[in-house]
Structure 1
Amino acid sequence: MVVTATSIEKPASAEQLAKTLHDAATQKLAVIPVGGGRARGMGDPASRADVELHTTRLDRVIEHSQADMVVSVEAGITLEALQAELAKAGQFLPLDPFNSPGHTIGGLLASGWTGPLRMRFGSPRDFLIGIRVALPDGRLATGGGRVVKNVSGYDMMKLHYGALGALGVIVAASFKVFPRPMHDVTVTSDGGWEDTSRALATPVAPSALELFSDGRVLARYTGSPDAIKRVVGELGWKTADGAVWEEHSRHAHPTWARIGAPREKLRVLLDGLSDWWASPGAGVAHWAAPADASAVRAVRQKAEASGGSLVMLDAPDDFMRDVGAWGTPPETIAIMRNLKRAFDPDAVLNPGRFVV
């Protein structure tokens, strides 16, 4: 989904961005926040678009405390630029989203996208410790971190993570970072689901474990050299070049979806489908979906019946309108609508794209 707005704004500071957003909201102009554009196809087609509000000039590392293992950055910095800065201190942020490179930190938080490393480290929400958000009323609200200014008692980090910019525009964030592993080994097999079960049962759990629809398995082990050597020896798989993960992170498709399900039900959901890749340990799969709306609806129905979901990550506009990006609204939809009214009463932020 690509929206063409009549005005493109690229403010150079959080304060400028907040003012631009407020000015647009005062005129009831529809605002489309844009980061790196890597998740731009996510969501239903916007009902209107007047102003594109880009964060890419907000690209500074605000503070990096190596000893405390904390970093604060502006939202427009790319993941690659942040990783390069952290690498100087032997540290990293465990994010490896698909459709890379080019994701901004703010875009990753707004979209909730993750990659294979989610299996060990969780989602960005698990190591996000602070956030700063521009609101339509012109305020800059901060939550978490060393300074807590939550708005009217709301947990700002939980509210804005994965909200696709529907409640505010993320302008900065702080994270706990991690030391780069002493040892990082990737092994591969062609053993399909059975071999993923073997990998998940090893004494040292893999940091990432990916299964492909052709039966290929990739496992990434990080940590103590001795422990990894023992585990890799027990598996007996072939060693692969670690660069395979960067190649894997480039995966995307013109029409693709993320399927989430309880771990024990993911295999049944994917049975009979082609062109998918999955993280069995996390209960997540990505599917290069066919241009067949009824087939996608059928898979979504099965996913929801199993307690999971199917979210479209990109598709042509007509297809997205037919299938819908999000599926059945969650039980919390009434609460979400109340939050939308509280933060964006005139519905100027990404109108029509999110579930509210």
Structure 2
Amino acid sequence: MASSSLDTIAQAAHARWGTPASRAAGPADAILDQLPAVVLEPTTVPMLADMLRWANADKVAVVPRGAGTKLTWGRTPPRIGAVLATTRIDGSIDHCAGDLTATVPAGARLEEVNAALAREGQWLPLDPRLADRATIGGIVATNDSGPRRQKHGTPRDLIIGAEMALVDGRTAKAGGRVVKNVAGYDLARLLCGSFGALAIITRATFKLAPRPPASRTIVASAPQARPLADLALALLSSPLTPAAIELQSRPDRLLLRFETTEAAANQQAAAAEALCGAHGVDASMVSGDAEAAVWREHQADLSSADGTLVRVAVLPAQVGDVLGHAERVAAQHALECRVAGRIALGVVYARIGAGEHTRPSPESLRAAIDALRQNAWARGGSAVVVSVDPAIGHVVDPWGDVGDALPLMRALKARFDPNGILNAGHGPGNI
């Protein structure tokens, strides 16, 4: 049924499941200008598995969807037969507070999950962009994280088990509900960052953390980003344990967050402020509503839809040089460049675009992306286009060359999804 018309796909789905589990796609369901034939919204895991079995048998291309906050990441899908949503699947949160673990449904929003875990003074310490809307399944599928990655890691570091639906209609489990789980292949971590191309996650189990009773943030400012990069390296070699070390540009600032007990937060913040002074960097401490506002502004800047966003990953010691290179590239092509991200981890986001009232030329954007990518590759790093200006979306490869890993990726794809129906062509190498 690979050549079936969209109408035929929609009719087959409606005949099999009816409404509301199957409905016609509307403009809001389009993904990068591609309109699916039908939106499938199962209410149970067996129904979801049955939908996958049907799609696989009839070779209907499927795009899994949670809240839809990351659907524009990656390559434009060459075909979409159906969007398969997970947000209506029934499921409760299984919280083992004594073990600091929780199993949660993939369609649950992170904000809702943490509200439930807070009753026992615990939380899942992930803070990706659009965290108030993002679902657990989408966060795991993209391995998305935020500023607190500095202390708590990514979903791949926190996940200890997963339940999934396979394309042949079977369901499977991997890992378990205890932190020390080493038996067999770690399929749960394999699914992290797979972009839904191998299986659809239905539930995930995570190790949790106690909710910190206090938080303090040091805001360090400098005329340029390079001194802040050096300061971040100095913080890494100090005994301080910040929950986040984030760079902001325009204005150039370093945000240092400490989340622990009241006394320890004050002590570490004071020590960090003194370290900033020793490096000739102005710093001040914020807490309460002022602190929350600082972090909301930072996350909003990263979540903005304007311009082209490139994620660059290099060694932390190389970040200062990468920042300088990004500024030179932007100036060379008459573009504006704002940089933010996990500077002490070597992960920064460069948002490039034209001025406030002008539109960049496709040629200048492509040239700037190529320059950033070549510089990262030369350092043994990577540069991935997270979101792109529509003017060049059809000609820019968001992933770039993934090197020797591509044959392994293709082999895994062939084993899990031999007909290539899950997020077809969305990943590296048209996987």
Q: If the length of structure 1 is used for normalisation, what is the TM-score?
A: 0.93
Give 2:371's match in structure 1, choosing from 298, 302, 307. Answer: 298
Greater shift, 240-249 or 175-184, is seen at 240-249
Pair 1:58–1:246, CA change in 2 (3 A): farther
CA contact (8 A) 1:25 1:137 kept: yes
- Partner residue, 1:92: 123
Secondary structure of 1:325's counterpart equals coil
Measured after TM superposition, the shift of residue 315 of structure 1 is 1.8
Structure 1: distance between partners of 2:262 and 2:238: 15
Structure 2: distance between partners of 1:33 and 1:78: 15
Structure 2 residue 299 is matched with structure 1 residue 249: yes
CA contact (8 A) 2:177 2:205 kept: no
Pair 1:69–1:109, CA change in 2 (3 A): same
Structure 1: distance between partners of 2:207 and 2:185: 22
- Partner residue, 1:267: 320
Greater shift, 344-353 or 289-298, is seen at 289-298
Secondary structure of 1:321's counterpart equals coil
CA contact (8 A) 1:186 1:239 kept: yes
Structure 2: distance between partners of 1:154 and 1:120: 26
Deviations 1:138-182 (A, max 9, x none): 0111100149xxxxx653113211010111111110011110113
Deviations 1:232-264 (A, max 9, x none): 223143122231223423332332121111111
Structure 2 residue 207 is matched with structure 1 residue 161: no
Structure 2: distance between partners of 1:322 and 1:53: 27
1:23-62 pair list within 5 angstroms: 23-58=54-89, 60-62=91-93
Structure 1: distance between partners of 2:316 and 2:218: 22
- Could you tell me which runs of 5 or more consecutive residues in structure 2 were left unpaired when the two chains were aligned: 1-30, 179-183, 223-227, 275-282, 328-336, 354-359
- Partner residue, 1:207: 243
- Could you tell me which runs of 5 or more consecutive residues in structure 1 were left unpaired when the two chains were aligned: 148-152
- Partner residue, 1:319: 392
Pair 1:157–1:135, CA change in 2 (3 A): same
Structure 2 residue 95 is matched with structure 1 residue 64: yes
Measured after TM superposition, the shift of residue 265 of structure 1 is 1.0
- Partner residue, 2:383: 310
Q: Which has the higher helix share?
A: 2
Letter in 1 for 2:320: R
How many residues are paired up? 351
Letter in 1 for 2:196: G
Secondary structure of 1:163's counterpart equals coil
Structure 2 residue 304 is matched with structure 1 residue 258: no
Identity among equivalent positions (%) equals: 34
Q: If the length of structure 2 is used for normalisation, what is the TM-score?
A: 0.78
Give the aligned CA root-mean-square deviation in angstroms: 1.8
Structure 2: distance between partners of 1:256 and 1:15: 38
Secondary structure of 1:323's counterpart equals coil
Q: Which has the higher contact order (CA 8 A, sep 6+)?
A: 1
Letter in 1 for 2:424: P
- Partner residue, 1:150: none
Letter in 2 for 1:344: D
Structure 1: distance between partners of 2:126 and 2:230: 27
- Partner residue, 1:229: 266
Structure 2: distance between partners of 1:59 and 1:100: 21
Letter in 1 for 2:368: A
- Asked which structure has the greater CA Rg, the reply is 2
CA contact (8 A) 2:246 2:254 kept: yes
